[in-house]
Homo-oligomer: A and B are copies of this chain.
Amino acid sequence: MGLKFSAQDVRGIYNIIPTPATPNAHHIDADDTVNYEATYKLVNMLIDEGVDAILTNGTFGEGATLTEKEHIAFVAKVIETAGGRVPVFAGATTLNTRDTIRRGKLFREMGATGLFLGRPMWCECDDNTIVGFYSDIATALPDTPLIIYDNPEAFKGKLSPRVYSRLAGIPNIIASKYIAIGPQYLDDVEACGDSIRLLPLDSDWYYARKWVGEKAPACWTGSGNCGMAVLRALKKAIESGDDAYALEITRDIRYTYKTLFPHGSFKLFSLYNIPLEKARFDAAGLVEAGPARPPYHHVPQDYLEGAREAGRRWAEINKKYSG
């Protein structure tokens, strides 16, 4: 069984990892496409460099395109490598409640701290279906901490304050990956109370802190895969209240993201999330993310180049903050 973990323990840098792939992973007849050595190196790098938690198998972590066997083997490798040094939240999003329960139960038995969970997306879920889904998971896996994965493009809609206030009554749920702090963020934070921590993106974290202070004790990121020094510096600046420095780092981070989103569009990015993020990580040089698995290996070349530039930029600022 994994570690105990509550909303009050959520703090720092929550980094989502890709599922490193063997060079042939974009072929339909490839089998066992997990690059275990790259996984081992990635997890160790993150922990050595100060990550606070590791999350697996979101969108770019290819929750959709791994076979069940690969998925389980990958999570096993991550948990084994982490060895309890940091909490591991294993992605277990599937097309339905029962598959998620079965897979989540297995991950917990394998030692996962908790689960990182999007909702079924074949049909869009209404409020009752969303709350029912997470509630059913919590009932079936009573001691399992859950981090919600709320991606409006993937799961066909954004959680509302009304839903958050109902989810706040489910003790297992400790946090939610938050997409963009905007008009609704304040209402969502209020709806969550102290039961659920909303995790802004790294580049939004400083701004979230200015609005809600201690209610934003952690951020999510995928950029740890490009280098942790920037994020370590950001965390220190934010926690020590060094606003000027936190803002400088934030601006540097935003500079790296400018080329990641095709035409500045999150919707467009969402079509190519997987190959773009993997190309970005590869370009930064610290991880061998490898090719995207089918069918999501098609991507316009100029978008890909933008992603690579984003990776190179991160590597550049990571050097600046490594000193």
Contacts and interface: CB of A to CB of B under 8 A. Distances in A.
Given A59-B122, A123-B274, A181-B183, A65 B98 contact: yes
Say how many copies of this protein the assembly contains: 4
Given A28-B139, A128-B298, A65 B271 contact: no
A119 interface: yes
Contacts of A66: 96
A5 interface: no
Contacts of A169: none
Contacts of A210: 207, 210-211
Contact of A136 (B136, B273, B295): B295
A298 B125 CA distance: 9
Contact of A294 (B98, B183, B293): B98
A123 B64 contact: yes
Contacts of A211: 207, 210
A129 B295 contact: yes
A120 interface: yes
Interface in A15-59: 28-30, 59
A6 interface: no
Interface string A277-312: 000000000000000011111100000000000000
A198 interface: no
A140 interface: yes
Interface residues of A, number: 59
A270 B157 CA distance: 14
A124 B98 contact: no
A30 B101 CA distance: 12
Contact of A96 (B65, B102, B160): B65
A141 to B, nearest CB: 10
A101 B298 CA distance: 18
Given A64-B96, A99-B67, A298-B129, A123 B293 contact: no
Nearest to A94: B95
A50 B125 CA distance: 36
Nearest to A97: B294
A74 to B, nearest CB: 15
A63 interface: yes
Nearest to A155: B122
A80 interface: no
B28 A97 contact: yes
A293 B128 contact: no
Given A133-B294, A180-B183, A63 B122 contact: yes
A44 to B, nearest CB: 28
Given A64-B120, A119-B295, A132-B298, 4 more contacts: A67-B98, A123-B271, A125-B271, A182-B183
